[in-house]
Amino acid sequence: MIEDREPIRVALLGCGTVGTEVVSLLQGRPGEFAARTGAPLQVTGVAVRRPHKHPEVPEHLLTTDAAALVNGDVDVVVELIGGIEPARSLLLQALRAGKSVVTANKALLAEYGSELYAAADAAGADIYFEASVAGAIPLLRPLRESLAGDRISRVMGIVNGTTNYILSAMDSSGASYAETLEEAGQLGYAEADPTADVDGFDAAAKAAILASLSFHTRVTATDVHREGISGIGAGDIAAAKSLDRTVKLLSICERVVDDEGNESVSARVHPAMIPRSHPLAGVGGAFNAVFVEAESAGQLMFYGQGAGGVPTSSAVLGDLVAVARNLVVAGKGPRESAHAQLPVRSMGATPTRYHISLDVADKPGVLSQVAATFNEHDVSIAAVRQQGRGPDASLVVITHTALDSALQATVDEIARLSAVNEVVSVMRVEGEQS
Ligand SMILES: NC(=O)C1=CN([C@@H]2O[C@H](COP(=O)(O)OP(=O)(O)OC[C@H]3O[C@@H](n4cnc5c(N)ncnc54)[C@H](O)[C@@H]3O)[C@@H](O)[C@H]2O)C=CC1
Ligand SMILES: N[C@@H](CC=O)C(=O)O
Ligand code: NA
């Protein structure tokens, strides 16, 4: 009888947006969890900062002493506090004592993942973190396990729900940036400090995790080129609309092979214009979607709810069941796989495409001056559209693929041309043939 087996003792750290849902589901469905893992799951304590704020948790389980809870009689520690400290110290403490860990903390994993993996490995414990990237969507388990026999070449997607919620609203209803950011916070999508979302730190942490798993290489958040959405204005959204495109914050991780056959990894987060016909263009609200390209599997797409307490609790509980099953059969989950150790390519050396929208003087020679600047930097133009407006004109240029540093240098020089009144919008273009 499963009920007669020794329970698996679970400590929960943090009871906020995600933690509250995890506690409630764990307490509400004990029979199901026991049947699925092969032993009952017993919550031994819930570490919180202010116990009086948690009437939903049985009082005897609440504690403000997370370290004592981790050091006590527990088999699995579920960390839902977020941030680096005290989460890092608490998880190292747990792992070094042979206790397995489930965490949703991308910021921590993107910086200290290797340290945590090493501690888990040394003690024979597990570390699972499906909720850390793309919330409810099963994505890391497929990368770590199902695709472990394949070679991944590219991962591209929307992995931040808050910014997608904001950009979708700006695109569809012309809503303001500030008002939608506040809504995203109320709906439980935004991080405790929402600048982590809008400035791209959250997406960059997720890109580091995705690149590490996909390319068997240690990639940290500081290796990821990062641009957020705080500079995106109504002008950019309008420029995209006029070309039947939309703006999304994308995380793109690629295996790049140079002319000599040398491989490197590129990981970047930035807003990009994509065609409205692209499947990512239809991903609205806090939904996430990620494309994975692998040599044998071909193209795969993962889609679902990337943020919010209820969806994220699904991924956390899935990991908890996996860890508990391993404990029941004395098995182990996957370890760190960083054998490839590919160098990380700088953003300047990464091939990209640009959309550039200019306000120029409508007089002879302007177009040729602009075209000459592209030529000087060896950047090839894919399309040009000019529209006169009295003495001035709007000039839109879309380039072919070139090194990002060459594109950046071209834009800097164009901005200095006397015939250019204003650089209205500069954005990378993704999701179409170059
Ligand atoms: N909210 C979401 O949609 C998602 C969140 N995550 C991640 O899940 C984790 C938790 O996120 P949320 O629940 O949204 O955050 P939250 O801010 O709502 O909850 C964190 C809780 O931890 C508590 N806490 C802080 N320090 C503590 C300590 N020393 N001891 C005990 N409790 C402490 C806070 O009081 C708060 O209640 C973060 O790592 C976040 O990045 C991952 C995917 C989605
Ligand atoms: N703040 C994050 C939450 C999930 O990881 C987001 O908006 O995606
Ligand atoms: Na996930």
- Give yes or no for residue 303 having a pLDDT over 90: yes
Closest ligand, as measured to the CA of 210: 3
Q: Where are the alpha helices (DSSP H) in 39-103?
A: 66-71, 87-96
Distance of CA 397 to the CA centre of its chain: 30
Question: Where in 229-350 does DSSP place strands (E)?
Answer: 245-257, 263-275, 287-294, 298-305
User: Residue 173: pLDDT above 90?
Assistant: no
Neighbours of 186 (CB within 10 A): 8
Amino acid at 181: L
Do residues 253 and 266 touch, judged by C-beta distance below 8 A?
A: yes
User: Residue 178: pLDDT band by 50, 70, 90 thresholds?
Assistant: confident
Three-state secondary structure call for residue 64 = coil
* In the predicted structure, residue 432 carries a pLDDT above the cut 90: no
**Vertex 192, ends 267 and 165: CA angle to 5°?**
65
17 assigned ligand-binding residue: yes
Q: Closest Cα to atom 37, ligand 1: which residue? A: 16
Q: Evaluate whether 429 touches 273 at the Cβ level (below 8 Å).
A: yes
18 labeled binding residue: yes
Task: Establish whether residue 103 lines the binding site of ligand 1, counting it when its CB lies within 6 angstroms of any ligand atom.
Answer: no
Q: Is 15 annotated as a binding residue?
A: yes
Q: Atom 4 in ligand 2: which residue has the minimum CA distance? A: 307
Mean pLDDT for 44-60 is 97
Q: Which atom of ligand 2 is nearest to the CA of 312?
A: 4
Count of CB atoms situated within 10 Å of the CB of 361: 14
Ligand 1 close to Cβ of residue 135 (< 6 A) = yes
Nearest ligand 1 atom to alpha carbon 315: 43
Which ligand has the minimum distance to the alpha carbon of residue 12?
A: 1
Ligand 1 contact, 288 CB (< 6 A): no
Residue pLDDT, tens place only, 63-101 = 999 999 999 999 999 999 999 999 999 999 999 999 999
Q: Does the pLDDT value for residue 135 go beyond 80?
A: yes
Ligand closest to the CA atom of residue 80 = 1
At 179 the pLDDT is 80
Q: Looking at residue 256, what is its pLDDT?
A: 94
- Whether 71 contacts 97, CB under 8 Å: yes
Q: Of these residues, 53, 206, 332, 363, which one is catalytic?
A: 206
pLDDT by residue (tens digit) across 327-362? 999 999 999 999 999 999 999 999 999 999 999 999
- CA 355 to CA 429: how far, in whole Å? 6
The neighbourhood of ligand 3, an ion, using CB within 5 A, equals 130, 134, 137, 139, 315
**Distance (Å) from CA 66 to ligand 3 centroid:** 25
Cβ within 8 Å of residue 21, ≥6 positions away: 309, 310, 312, 313
Task: Residue 145: count other Cβ atoms within 10 Å of its Cβ.
Answer: 11
Instruction: For residue range 218-227, list pLDDT tens digits in order.
Output: 999 999 999 9
**Which residues line ligand 2 at a C-beta cut-off of 6 Å?**
135, 160-162, 189-191, 197, 202, 306-307
- Which residue in 234, 220, 270, 243 sits closest to 404, CA to CA? 270
Q: How far away, in angstroms, is 108 Cα from ligand 2 center? A: 14
Unique residue bearing structure tokens 């990380």: 344
Q: What 3 state SS string does 160-185 have?
A: CHHHHHHHHHHHHHCCCHHHHHHHHH
For the CA of 134, the nearest ligand = 3
| Buried b / exposed e along 283-293 (16+ C-beta atoms within 10 A) | bebbbbbbbbb
Q: How far apart are CA 138 and CA 326, in angstroms?
A: 19
b/e sequence 330-343, b meaning 16+ C-beta within 10 Å: eeebeebebeeebe
d(CA 178, CA 156): 27
Which atom, in ligand 2's list, is nearest to the CA of 197? 1
Cis (ω within 30 of 0) for the bond into 86?
yes
d(CA 162, ligand 2 centre) in Å:
6
Confidence check: pLDDT of 433 > 80: no
Q: How far is the CA of 191 from the centre of ligand 2 (A)?
A: 6
Pairwise CA distance, residues 166 & 252, whole Å? 20
135 is in an annotated binding site: no
pLDDT tens profile 140-162: 999 999 999 999 999 999 999 99
Q: How far is the CA of 288 from the centre of ligand 3 (A)?
A: 10
Amino acid letter, 310: V
Residue 434 has pLDDT above 80, yes or no: no
Contact criterion met (CB below 8 Å) for 49 and 82? no
- Asked if the model's pLDDT at residue 43 lies above 90, the reply is yes
The pairing of strands 76-79 and 225-226 is unpaired
Tell me, yes or no, if the pTM score tops 0.95: yes
Identify the pLDDT of residue 241. Answer: 93
In the chain, what are the domains?
A: 2-135+310-328 (3.40.50.720), 140-305 (3.30.360.10), 350-429 (3.30.70.260)
Please tell me if the CB atom of residue 237 comes closer than 6 angstroms to any atom of ligand 1.
Answer: no
> Are the CB atoms for 419 and 366 separated by under 8 Å?
yes
Residues 6+ apart with CB under 8 A from 43: 10, 11, 12, 23, 26, 27, 61
Is 206 a residue of the active site? yes
**ipTM value greater than 0.90:** yes
In this structure, the residue with its CA closest to atom 16 of ligand 1 is: 16
Report how far ligand 3's centroid is from the alpha carbon of 83 (Å): 18
